[in-house]
Amino acid sequence: MSTVLIGIALALLSSVAYAAAAVLQERLATLPVRRLGGNVLWWAATALNGVAAVLHLAALRAGPLSLIQALGILTLPMAVPLAAATARRRVSATEWNGIAFTLAGLLGLVFLIGSAGTGVPLTLSQLIFVLVAVAAVLVALEGVSRVLHGSVLWTAAAAGIAFGISSAVSQTVTVRLTDDGLAAIWTPLVLIAGLAVVVLTIAGLLLTQYSYRNGLGAPLAVSTIANPVVAAVVGIVLLGDRVTGGYSGAALALACAVGAAVGVALLASASRGGRTRPVPAEESVADQVAAEPDRV
């Protein structure tokens, strides 16, 4: 089997693992954070996300970046039907249309902005600037979500941004370790970057968990879009990356973003159109008995 085929197989397995993790997280979306640590499904979802990330990294080493990144967006068309199957319902026509628009837009974005990376690491000052900026953006997005009475799409955008910055910072760690060896682990740049990756990954997981409380499709689409876009912004603004095709490529990327936004809107409307909310997985008999006096 050729190296490229191995990369494709690993990327597909990664998408399946991400999709399964998303479905498990949706089932726990109504649980408060303090109860997640004691839930087996939460740890299963976390493990699946970890496995998916490792498979994705392995796929990137075996296949071309543009192809592997494109295959990575298959998480969306895998997760939505899987979530529908677990809820014992059919995927609606609106959901399929939303998936189609989102995938078309994402494919264009991935090929236009996801394959133009230079592989240049961040400097320490650039890293600190990025981390301060992303912290401010995440706080602002969460504030907007609260003002809009918990709009899940803003939370999903925050999750995608957290994962996207984590990916960009991970590249810096990888490049430094590749160039300088294990001695680079103890440098301030790699230490701060490594800690940031851990914090951003945890934040992304928790924000994703919260964003699924009203449905899976639209939040997953938003976070999937935000992830490569914010990583590309870091590359373009700080590392000298360029959009493929120059100005015409930028215009095409904007059109793809509009198409993806249409897909998100369709998925959001499908979620409002009759989806039942997930039952908290850890609701016990004691919880139900405690609620009985209120019903008398």
Q: What is the pLDDT of residue 191?
A: 92
C-alpha to C-alpha distance for 122 and 223, rounded to whole angstroms: 23
User: Mean pLDDT in the chain?
Assistant: 78
Q: What is the pLDDT of residue 129?
A: 93
Tell me the pLDDT tens digit for each residue of 163-213: 888 877 887 887 788 778 888 788 999 899 999 989 998 898 888 888 887
Q: 65 pLDDT exceeds 70? A: no
Which range in 12-21, 26-35, 146-155, 249-258 is most confidently predicted, on average pLDDT?
Answer: 12-21
C-alpha to C-alpha distance for 83 and 13, rounded to whole angstroms: 18
Q: 269 pLDDT exceeds 70? A: yes
Average pLDDT over residues 30-43: 81
Q: 98 pLDDT exceeds 70? A: yes
Q: 75 pLDDT exceeds 60? A: yes
Tell me the pLDDT tens digit for each residue of 119-159: 677 889 999 999 999 999 988 887 887 777 667 888 888 99
- The whole-model pTM stands at 0.75
Q: What is the pLDDT of residue 296?
A: 39
Give the Å distances, CA to CA, from 128 to 122, 135, 196, 226. Answer: 9, 11, 10, 21
Give the Å distances, CA to CA, from 136 to 4, 161, 162, 283. Answer: 40, 12, 12, 35
Average pLDDT over residues 67-80: 76
Which amino acid is it at 54?
Answer: V
* Phi, psi of 58, deg, nearest 5: -65, -40
Q: How many CB atoms lie within 10 A of CB 34?
A: 7
Average pLDDT over residues 238-267: 79
Q: What is the pLDDT of residue 131?
A: 93
Q: Which two tokens stand for residue 146?
A: 């609260």
Average pLDDT over residues 41-57: 86
Q: 276 pLDDT exceeds 50? A: no
Average pLDDT over residues 274-285: 42
Q: What is the pLDDT of residue 273?
A: 54
Q: What is the pLDDT of residue 284?
A: 36
Give the Å distances, CA to CA, from 144 to 148, 152, 206, 211. Answer: 6, 10, 17, 14
Q: 77 pLDDT exceeds 90? A: no
Q: What is the pLDDT of residue 281?
A: 41
Q: What is the pLDDT of residue 1?
A: 55
Indicate if the alpha-carbon torsion angle 185, 186, 191, 193 is positive or negative.
Answer: negative
